[in-house]
Structure 1
Amino acid sequence: MRRVPSEPRTGWRETVESQGLVFPVTVRPDGTERPYWNENAYYELGAAEVDQLEEATEQLHGMCLEAARHLASGAMGPLGLPEGSLRLAQASLDAGTPSLYGRFDLRYAGVDEGPPKLLEYNADTPTGLLESAVVQWFWLEDTHPDRDQWNSLHERLVAAWQDLAPRLTQPVWFAHHEGEATGEEWMTVTYLRDTAEQAGLATQGITMGQIGYNEAAEYFVGHEAQMLRTCFKLYPWEDMLREPFGRWVEPRPNPMYGTTWLEPPWKVLLSNKALLAALWHLYPGHELLLPAYLDEPHGLTEWVAKPLHGREGASIRVHAEGIEHEQPGGYGAEGWCYQQWCPLPQLDGNKVVLGSWVVDGRAAGVGIRESDGWITDDDARFVPHLIDTASPSEAQRAAWVDDDRRGPGR
């Protein structure tokens, strides 16, 4: 894996905005701008590195499903969640409620530096999807059309909706939080809605604030009191369960009146940083994991303290040789997970995190972010990538996705 300096395309900002990336720059508190989309460089991965990352991603996904059941049992406490949350998650697991996608954040420096290490799992409300699936693909076609990219996200999302369709009552509602100012969440939901429509599903858009509940009939409603039978929401489960409507999110005796939520309630377990401690408890010493414990470091001399419900690096504390750092943020009252400090690899002075995507249980591609500091926060930059192999045909790419769909257990 290497970082290669590159000349940005003329009019790059207008180009990526036209592709849906309405947040191409990060606006800092002082009003200055810094590119979020950064094509002053690109990352080049070898075929062996992609194979290693793909295998690790799918192995981690399977391990996390096992950890979810451990967490749902209450063996590691309430996880800072409201009463009844674990029961809801367990019922969702038992019912086999489907999941669409997620993103592992990995520490990785290349095949010669050993296996990737799991930093966290963005399992419930992962963003960075549009730039990973669409914008960097168009960058590749514009700049290196003869090269490949580890990126089957779009094809796999469409295929996943097709596979899920028999289990979903249409229309599928797509909800985002209207208070998010950058447009990132709105565009993420808009893109996912587009993939569902490409798969042939009927859809409707809504904001979280427009969702209501009919207490007399006991079901969730959208516009004009229409029943919400299926709803994709880009909104954290731990927040939704604390809100007044949260008490109504429970398995219904009559499934005709229930709502299928995507992501499902059991994802509240995997988006919780307690997952890291659960994995280490279930798979101690595993090569893809870092030691992690709840509530205290348990003998770790260098550690990162992560709030259980933290997002975008907020409230994280680092205690390591020569580093004492605390990120601002309002998290932590819900509890902490202490994870072994493992400094990010640095390429040309940039600290690098790989976001490895999972769609319908299969590895689907990567988005790479780099930061100046040790914590990957909302000041990070997204940098496109390519693979040092020739570009396959569209027919070959489609065949790979189709082969996976017909794989064992499908």
Structure 2
Amino acid sequence: MCLAAAAHIVERDRFADLGITDPRLASLVAESWRRRAELPSLYGRFDLRYDGTGPAKMLEYNADTPTSLVEAASPQWFWMEERFPGADQWNSLHERLVEAWKRQAALLPPGPVHFVHSESDELGEDLMTVAYLRETAEQAGLDTEALSVERIGFDKLSGRFVDERLRFIRSCFKLYPWEWLTTDRFGPYVLDTLDNGGGTGTTCWIEPAWKMLLSNKALLTILWELYPGHPNLLAAHLDGPRELAANGGYVAKPLLGREGAGVTLHEAGAPPAVRDEACCYQELAPLPDFDGNRVVLGAWVVEDEAAGLGIRESAGPVTDEYARFLPHVIL
């Protein structure tokens, strides 16, 4: 359904709903979508609300820079083997990531794959996630290099991005959102050199630009338009809370945000409030509470298939960067 929504955005030119108002950027994202079979794309994470009694509800989908991958992959598997030998776990993440790199190696330009994160990551989560994904690529036989995004250079003579040793960056896995990549100081160079398949451009970014269609909260409203009343979706609007203010309450989410930043909850009956910034107004579905722990399920996708489960719990109603990871078993 998310892929159908992405196709709808491109076909109906709904980029403005996502806050993509630069015609050139919109054109490049559309081209990336149309050429997606030629571009490497690795993974994503659905965040789901589920209490064991009814259908799971999709809270959002992070298809560009999802984290909590490290904990969901090998560590919780090793925990299970030590604590619950003979049990099972919904978890094939590591094997699927390695196989995905092997299958997609032919789509990568010659040379090492650079793995980059931002030095502004104070918790170290981005660094660990990138280091882990780099390990899966190396296990798949790829040549890799580590680099921070702040240390990427641009050689104006050749018109190419370079690393600290002045080698061309032909392919780059980034844990750095596309909305930052295209709007920071080097944003114009990113657009000028974007390898979108078809032999154009000089730098292939992973995840590809079309993932901007899926990691934007406006996706939730497009889904509700296309599949109104679907049991796995929550009602969502862009222009305000509408009926949600009176019927159960709503959550206001910035279109672009990570780790719960800027999310506000509004109970039923509270005066409807339309935020100044562009937001998605989604039906309120409080996370299930287990002894004061509010739980959200992270359902991982590698390439086109479900690949594992990572559970996070928090004391507050919004899952943020300080949420605890909870390993699981199937007995």
Same fold (TM over 0.5): yes
Letter in 1 for 2:161: F
Aligned sequence identity (%): 53
* Contact 2:43–2:63 under 8 Å retained in 1: yes
Shift in Å at residue 349 of structure 1? 2.6
Aligned equivalents of 1:76 and 1:187: distance in 2?
33
Shift in Å at residue 285 of structure 1? 1.3
Aligned equivalents of 2:154 and 2:13: distance in 1?
29
Letter in 2 for 1:219: R
Aligned equivalents of 1:159 and 1:356: distance in 2?
19
* Contact 1:79–1:334 under 8 Å retained in 2: no
| Counterpart for residue 315 of structure 1 | 262
Q: Which region of structure 1 is more displaced relative to structure 2, 251-260 or 83-92?
A: 251-260
Shift in Å at residue 256 of structure 1? 6.5
| Counterpart for residue 236 of structure 1 | 177
Structure 2: stretches of 5+ with no match in the other structure: none
Aligned equivalents of 2:113 and 2:190: distance in 1?
17
Partner SS state of residue 285, structure 2: coil
Letter in 1 for 2:9: L
Shift in Å at residue 69 of structure 1? 2.4
| Counterpart for residue 341 of structure 1 | 284
| Counterpart for residue 100 of structure 2 | 160
Aligned equivalents of 1:264 and 1:256: distance in 2?
14
1:118 to 20, 36, 58: 58
Letter in 2 for 1:201: L
Q: Which region of structure 1 is more displaced relative to structure 2, 250-259 or 150-159?
A: 250-259
Partner SS state of residue 140, structure 1: helix
Partner SS state of residue 224, structure 1: coil
2:236 to 292, 297, 300: 292
Aligned equivalents of 1:333 and 1:197: distance in 2?
45
Does residue 305 (structure 1) correspond to residue 252 (structure 2)? The answer is yes
Shift in Å at residue 348 of structure 1? 2.4
| Counterpart for residue 298 of structure 2 | 355
1:278 to 222, 234, 241: 222
* Contact 1:371–1:381 under 8 Å retained in 2: yes
Letter in 1 for 2:2: C
Letter in 2 for 1:204: E
Partner SS state of residue 338, structure 1: strand
The 5-angstrom pairing of residues 161-176 of structure 1 reads 161-169=101-109, 170-176=111-117
Cα shift readout 1:295-345 (whole Å, capped 9, x = no counterpart): 211221211010111211111111114889x9xxxxx76510000011111
Q: Which region of structure 1 is more displaced relative to structure 2, 100-109 or 165-174?
A: 165-174
| Counterpart for residue 106 of structure 1 | 48
Aligned equivalents of 1:247 and 1:256: distance in 2?
16
* Contact 2:15–2:21 under 8 Å retained in 1: no
Aligned equivalents of 1:252 and 1:363: distance in 2?
28
| Counterpart for residue 140 of structure 2 | 199
The 5-angstrom pairing of residues 11-410 of structure 1 reads 63-72=1-10, 73-75=12-14, 77-81=16-20, 83=22, 84-96=24-36, 97-110=39-52, 113-169=53-109, 170-250=111-191, 251=194, 255=199, 257-300=201-244, 301=246, 302-321=249-268, 334-388=277-331
Partner SS state of residue 87, structure 1: helix
Structure 1: stretches of 5+ with no match in the other structure: 1-62, 327-331, 389-410
Letter in 2 for 1:249: V
Cα shift readout 1:135-182 (whole Å, capped 9, x = no counterpart): 111111110111001100000000000000011123111001011112
Aligned equivalents of 2:19 and 2:27: distance in 1?
14
Letter in 2 for 1:379: Y
Aligned equivalents of 2:241 and 2:61: distance in 1?
20
CA RMSD of aligned residues (A): 2.0
Aligned equivalents of 2:300 and 2:95: distance in 1?
13
Letter in 2 for 1:194: E
* Contact 2:174–2:205 under 8 Å retained in 1: yes
Letter in 2 for 1:178: E
How many positions carry a matched residue from both structures? 318
* Contact 2:15–2:26 under 8 Å retained in 1: no
Aligned equivalents of 1:283 and 1:93: distance in 2?
21
Shift in Å at residue 91 of structure 1? 1.0
* Contact 2:195–2:204 under 8 Å retained in 1: no
Partner SS state of residue 204, structure 1: strand
Aligned equivalents of 1:150 and 1:284: distance in 2?
30
* Contact 1:64–1:275 under 8 Å retained in 2: yes
| Counterpart for residue 24 of structure 1 | none
Shift in Å at residue 123 of structure 1? 1.0
Residues 101 and 148 of structure 1, relative CA distance in 2, 3 Å threshold: same
Residues 82 and 175 of structure 1, relative CA distance in 2, 3 Å threshold: farther
